[in-house]
Amino acid sequence: MIKEVIVVEGKSDTIAIKRAVEADTIETGGSAVSERVLERIRRAQKTRGVIIFTDPDYPGERIRKIVSQAVPGCKHAFIKREEGRGKRNLGVEYATPESIRRALAEVRTEAETPVEQITMQDMSAAGLVGGPQAKNRRFLLGEELGIGYANAKQLHKRLLMLGITPEEFARSLAWVKAQEEQND
């Protein structure tokens, strides 16, 4: 049984989570997260802790941001885009039980205040901002770190929020460069 309550988007996500692990969920009911739902999440955070586990798409990121801002100190679980790919959509509901268990095993906690911060200049120097390969590099970096894909601005926020260290960032960038060289 997972101690924390898992925040998901809808009923199909709850079903997928329960196929993979024994856990309680709170469903946001989509990207228009009501104050009533946020209050339930706040209560769960105080008593058991919360893991935000949303779809790897724009609405999922929007929900993650809304909940994270309203309820500080949440944990975050991410599935890779290919793990959540259905016939027409992306979602936790399409992930295998193994992918869900992996994401929950690799959960990340929001950092109170990062000691060393990764700057936008660091990201630019790494080829993650602008340029023809930036999007692919961000995708690979997000996969390697287990924090999902994001545009440059959102990736920077996520790196800081989840306390990714400069060392972890550098190791993951080395892996990204190795992947690119392998594909050349």
Q: What is the pTM of this model?
A: 0.84
Identify the domain containing residue 19 by its residue range.
1-110
Mean pLDDT over the full length of the chain: 92
Of 69, 94, 110, the residue at which a domain comes to its end is 110
Cα–Cα distances in angstroms (integers) from residue 36 to residues 33, 42, 71, in the given order: 8, 10, 13
User: Is 159 in the same domain as 175?
Assistant: yes
Region at 148 (left for phi over 0; alpha for psi -120 to 50; beta for the rest): left
Give percent of the chain above pLDDT 70: 97
Confidence band (pLDDT; 50, 70, 90) for 119? Answer: very high
**19-46 pLDDT, tens per residue?**
999 999 999 998 889 999 999 999 999 9
